[in-house]
Amino acid sequence: MCQGRVTGVQAGIDHADARQRAAARQAGGGSDRISAGEGNDLVSAGGGHNRIVLGEGNDASVSAGGNDTVHADDGNDTVRSGDGSDRLWGGEGDDVLLAEAGNDTLSGGEGDDILNGGAGNDLMGGGEGADRFVFNSGLDRIIDFDDDDDRIDVSAFSGFASFASIRNALSQAGDDVVLRAGTHRLVIEDARLNALDSDDFIW
């Protein structure tokens, strides 16, 4: 298995393979296309609208502003995608998806994933496994909350000091449950208020 590593890809429109280290380092700013392939890769893509495929292995990628698309694929991966409207797929494995600012779409896929949309209005789907959804700001949606396995982390809000305080902020809205935190709102799609209990939240 190769140990690919791409760093400093920041300018220009690049088509970098992680195994081609020298070429990757010379790539300039703008929108990069990076395919890391097998092995455990560390990709730093900088700004621009990046398209990153991490392939197999336990990978990590960091990108800055711009609308990024990241397919983490197999393995336990960590993806941090900076500002912009990003689309992140964890694939198989236990992944950590940190979409940061912007209106982002996060898909955990199989495995026990942590999905954190950061600021902005984010759409989150955990897929199979016991997933943790982090709600910290904006108007977020969880499309596939499973109250047997998944949990919602609201620890970013100091006002939620107990499950009772969370329960007071929950309401049924048609087929969905809505959690309100000041001006911020989380929609838990296709959920029943009376099925949610303290096991479903982290505060």
| Interaction between residue 46 and Ca ion (CB under 5 A) | no
What is the closest distance, in whole angstroms, from the C-beta atom of residue 43 to Ca ion in the complex? 9
Tell me how far CA of residue 77 lies from CA of 3, 11, 18, 123, 176, in angstroms.
14, 25, 16, 19, 30
What is the closest distance, in whole angstroms, from the C-beta atom of residue 194 to Ca ion in the complex? 25
Which lies closer to Ca ion via its Cβ, residue 81 or residue 184? Answer: 81
Interacting stretch for Ca ion, rule CB under 5 A, among 53-61, 135-143, 155-163, 194-202? 53-61
What is the closest distance, in whole angstroms, from the C-beta atom of residue 30 to Ca ion in the complex? 23
| Interaction between residue 53 and Ca ion (CB under 5 A) | no
Pairing of strands 184-188, 176-181: antiparallel
| Interaction between residue 94 and Ca ion (CB under 5 A) | no
| Interaction between residue 113 and Ca ion (CB under 5 A) | yes
| Interaction between residue 57 and Ca ion (CB under 5 A) | yes
What is the distance between the alpha carbons of residues 135 and 86, in angstroms, rounded to a whole number? 17
Which helix (H) or strand (E) covers residue 21, if one does? helix 21-26
Q: Are 16 and 28 in contact (CB under 8 A)?
A: no
